[in-house]
Structure 1
Amino acid sequence: VAGAMSSALLAARVVPPRALRIARVASRPTRARRVATHPVVAGLKDLDKDLAKVSPSRTRDALAGDDRELRRQAIVGVGGCVSCAIMGYSLYTLRHTGCGLPPGPGGLVGAAEGLSYLYVCALVAYSAVKKVRTGSGLPEGPGGVLGLAEGLAYLLALGGVYCLLGQVEDFGFIPNAVPVEGGPCFSS
C-alpha cells in the first residue's frame, strides 16, 4: 500500500517546464555573492591591490631620505616586521615545545625574543590608542611597511592568546620570562 501511494504521489506531482526551472536556478543568489558581503571577506577583496602597494624600494628610499616623518614610519615598520618574525618563531616554538627560544650565546636570543614581544605589544597598543582617538589606525607608511607591521602585530597578538591558552592546557604552566634555577625551561 505504501509503495502504491508513493508512486501515486510522484505521478501527481506537477513538474515545472525545463525553461522555468533554469530561470529559477539562474535567479538564485550564488554562494560567492553572499560571502562577498561578509565584512572579513569584503576586507580581503582588494588584497591584490593592497599587496601591490607594498614596495621595498619606497621603504628603502624613505630610510635614506630627508623626510623625518617618513623615516620614522619606515623605521617603526621595519622594526615591527622584524619583531613579528622573531615573535612568530617564538610562539611556534613555545606552542610545540612548552618553552620559548633558548637564551643563546650571552643571552642575545632571549633578549631579542623579549624585546620583540615588547615591541609587538607596544605597536598594538599605539595602533589601538590612535584608532580610538582618530578613528583610523596607523598610516600604511612608505612602501606599506608600517601597515604590514600593524597587521602582523594584531595577528600575532591573537596568536599569543591562543598559544597562552594552549600552553596552560597542554603543559600546565606558563614559562618564566627569565630562566630560574630548577625551572622547567632552560634552568641556569
Structure 2
Amino acid sequence: MLPSRRRNHCAALKTKATAEPDSTLTKAVVAAGLVANPVVLVSEYFLKTTGEGLPPGPGGIYGATEGISYLVIVGVVGWSIYTKVKTGSGLPGSFLGAVEGFSYLSLVAGIVVAALVFAEKGSLPGITG
C-alpha cells in the first residue's frame, strides 16, 4: 500500500511543477510577479542612484513591499529552475512565462547593481556595512 501512495504523491508534485495555466497557484504567481518585478526594479534603481534601497515609508510599508517583492522574484526563479530540471522545459507561456522572464531580468539586474555599488562603495548598505 505504501508504494501506491508514493506514486500518487509524486504525481501530485509533478502536476504542481508543471503549473497548469488556469490554476489558482498560477494566477497568484502571475499577480504577485506583476507587482513584485516593478518594485524590485525601482528598488535597484534607488540602490544604484542613492546607494540605498527604498525608504521605509509610512509604517514601513515600502520597505516591507520591497522585501516581499525580492522574495517573490527569488521564488519565481526557483520554481522556474525546479520546473526546468524536472520537466525539461521552463514555465508555460503567456503571463506566467512573461513573469518568469521578467523575474530573471530583475534578478540579473539586481546582481549587476549590487556588484556596481559594492565596487563603488566597498560595501552594500544594510548587508556588508
TM-score, normalised by the number of residues in structure 1: 0.55
| SS of the residue 2:36 aligns to | helix
Determine the structure 1 residue equivalent to 2:35: 82
Of 145, 148, 151, the residue aligned with 2:101 is 151
1:91 lines up with 2:41 in the alignment: no
Determine the structure 2 residue equivalent to 1:133: 86
Q: Distance in 1 between matches of 2:34 and 2:99?
A: 5
CA RMSD of aligned residues (A): 1.9
Look up the equivalent residue of 2:53 and give its one-letter code: G
Percent identity reads 39
Q: Which one has the largest radius of gyration?
A: 1
Q: Which has the higher helix share?
A: 2
Please report how far the alpha carbon of residue 173 of structure 1 lies from its aligned counterpart in structure 2 after TM superposition. Answer: 1.4
Please report how far the alpha carbon of residue 84 of structure 1 lies from its aligned counterpart in structure 2 after TM superposition. Answer: 0.3
- Give the unaligned 5+ runs of structure 1: 1-66, 178-183
- Give the unaligned 5+ runs of structure 2: 1-19
Pairs within 5 Å for 1:55-134: 69-134=22-87
Report 1 or 2 for greater relative contact order, CA contacts < 8 Å, sequence distance ≥ 6: 2
Conserved 8 A contact 1:78-1:145: no
Q: Distance in 2 between matches of 1:175 and 1:116?
A: 18
Conserved 8 A contact 1:81-1:148: no
Please report how far the alpha carbon of residue 71 of structure 1 lies from its aligned counterpart in structure 2 after TM superposition. Answer: 3.1
Describe the superposition over 1:13-53 as per-residue Cα deviations: whole angstroms up to 9, x where unpaired.
xxxxxxxxxxxxxxxxxxxxxxxxxxxxxxxxxxxxxxxxx
TM-score, normalised by the number of residues in structure 2: 0.78
Q: Distance in 1 between matches of 2:96 and 2:32?
A: 9
Count of residues paired in the alignment: 109
Conserved 8 A contact 2:21-2:92: no
